[in-house]
Amino acid sequence: MLQRVFTQCMLRPGDFEPVGEGFKVVGAFNPGAAAFDDEVVLMIRVVEQPQQSRDGYEPSPRYTPQDGFAIDWLDEEDLEYYDPRVFHARSTGFKRLRFISYLKVVRSRDGKTIDSLDGPTLLPETPYEEYGIEDPRITKIGQTYYITYVAVSRHGVNTSLMSTTDFAHFKRHGIIFPPENKDVLLFPEKIAGDYMAMHRPVASIRFRPPEMWLARSPDLIHWGGHEQLLGAENTFENSRLGGGTPPVRTERGWLTLYHGSQRREGDPGPGIYSAGGLLLDLQNPKRILAQTPGAIMTPEEPFETTGFVRDVVFPTATVERDGLLYVYYGAADENTGVVGFELDALMQRFEKRADPVATA
Ligand code: MAN
């Protein structure tokens, strides 16, 4: 592991009041983050669960602007319970989420502690968001902050886009990657004439664990030129792998951290989530120039090992401050953390790949 200069748990569910009547907050994690004025602005995924119970049934929430928070009651006898995040219905093979997520803007002056919790709350708006909006990633392009986020509904799990210049007013641009696609990270500038994104399609006919892909766009809305970037190669990512932090320009290439999940022997539930790093060619990000040979960050602290889903560190943003890379991340699908790494020490960790192009 890479030595952490500091680790700070910034937010826990108890820091937030629920928005849904009769709901409780069970998560405040997977933050988008960006330097804005002299501060760090974070967009937190806040997660709520219904408090009501009914004998023989389990509640699965949804939200629409017309009806507000609503609950569907699922027959307990039809459900399997191996994942704390979802119910699996035996009769249909379909899933429902056990919670609902939305986004909340908070601010920090020192990048480690929260000064203000009273930023805007962004709730689901469209039928494609009725089961929640999750996992925002922020990239500044020109003077605009673009936010990719995961939107969940009966139609599947897609990635949508919104933008802002002030973190007070947000414009929604709709779906940019249809179901199922998550972990979409925008590059901060055009490359060879196109905007670029990393994305993570999830196939239902699977030959390998999910992989990271690249795509290009003339306008951030229409995406094509899809190419595979990276598949699982290390043990820590043998169950799944996906983009983590939006790429930032360094002299040696685009620096981005990604997450991998390692399955536990004989356990169908979520695995152990750790993080690794990539350096991509500045002119042609399809070329992986270097990779950390294993994970640089793995669950260690109690707020990372114990929570809604145990053993998760899930990096979602980086901000550079005084030679340190501040890495913002979700911990145990419950809390928001930040670690500081020496940027130099991180860069020394990267190893050249034998063949930068062949990743299949
Ligand atoms: C997975 C997890 C959950 C998330 C759903 C839908 O089950 O990442 O946290 O809510 O997918 O995106």
Q: Give per-residue pLDDT as tens, 317-327.
A: 999 998 999 99
Ligand 1 pocket (Cβ < 6 Å) reads: 85-86, 97, 134, 150, 152, 157
Tell me what percent of the residues of the chain surpass a pLDDT of 70. 98
Q: Give per-residue pLDDT as tens, 215-257.
A: 999 999 999 999 999 998 888 898 889 999 999 999 999 999 9
Q: How confident is the model at residue 358 (pLDDT cuts 50, 70, 90)?
A: very low
Task: Read off the tokens for 312.
Answer: 């998760």
Residue whose Cα lies nearest atom 8 of ligand 1: it is: 85
Q: What is the pLDDT of residue 169?
A: 98
- Which contacts (CB < 8 Å, 24+ apart) does range 204-209 have? 208/232, 209/237, 209/238, 209/239, 209/240, 209/241
CB-neighbour burial class of residue 180 (10 A; exposed 0-12, middle 13-18, buried 19+): middle
CB-neighbour burial class of residue 222 (10 A; exposed 0-12, middle 13-18, buried 19+): exposed
Task: Read off the tokens for 85.
Answer: 């995040």
Q: Give per-residue pLDDT as tens, 112-150.
A: 999 999 999 999 999 999 999 999 999 999 999 999 999
Element (H, E) at 305: helix 302-305
CB-neighbour burial class of residue 6 (10 A; exposed 0-12, middle 13-18, buried 19+): exposed
Cα 283 to middle of ligand 1, angstroms: 33
Task: Read off the tokens for 256.
Answer: 């981005």
Do 245 and 339 touch, CB atoms closer than 8 A? Answer: no
Across the range 190-201, mean pLDDT stands at 98
Q: What are phi and psi of 138, to 5 degrees?
A: -110, 130
C-alpha dist (Å) from residue 131 to 27, 97, 121, 149, 295: 15, 7, 16, 13, 32
287: β partners = none
Task: Read off the tokens for 250.
Answer: 């360094």
Query: From CA 228, how far away is CA 209, in angstroms rounded?
Result: 13
Cα 299 to middle of ligand 1, angstroms: 19
Cα 85 to middle of ligand 1, angstroms: 7
Residue whose Cα lies nearest atom 1 of ligand 1: it is: 85
Q: What is the pLDDT of residue 204?
A: 87
278: β partners = 256, 291
Taking the whole predicted model, whether its pTM rises above 0.85 is answered as yes
- Cβ contacts of 297 within 8 Å, gap of 6 or more: 1, 2, 4, 257, 274, 275, 313, 315, 327, 329, 339
Q: What is the pLDDT of residue 268?
A: 86
C-alpha dist (Å) from residue 284 to 191, 194, 228, 253, 356: 8, 11, 13, 10, 11
Residue 330 has pLDDT above 50, yes or no: yes
Q: What is the pLDDT of residue 179?
A: 97
Q: How confident is the model at residue 210 (pLDDT cuts 50, 70, 90)?
A: confident
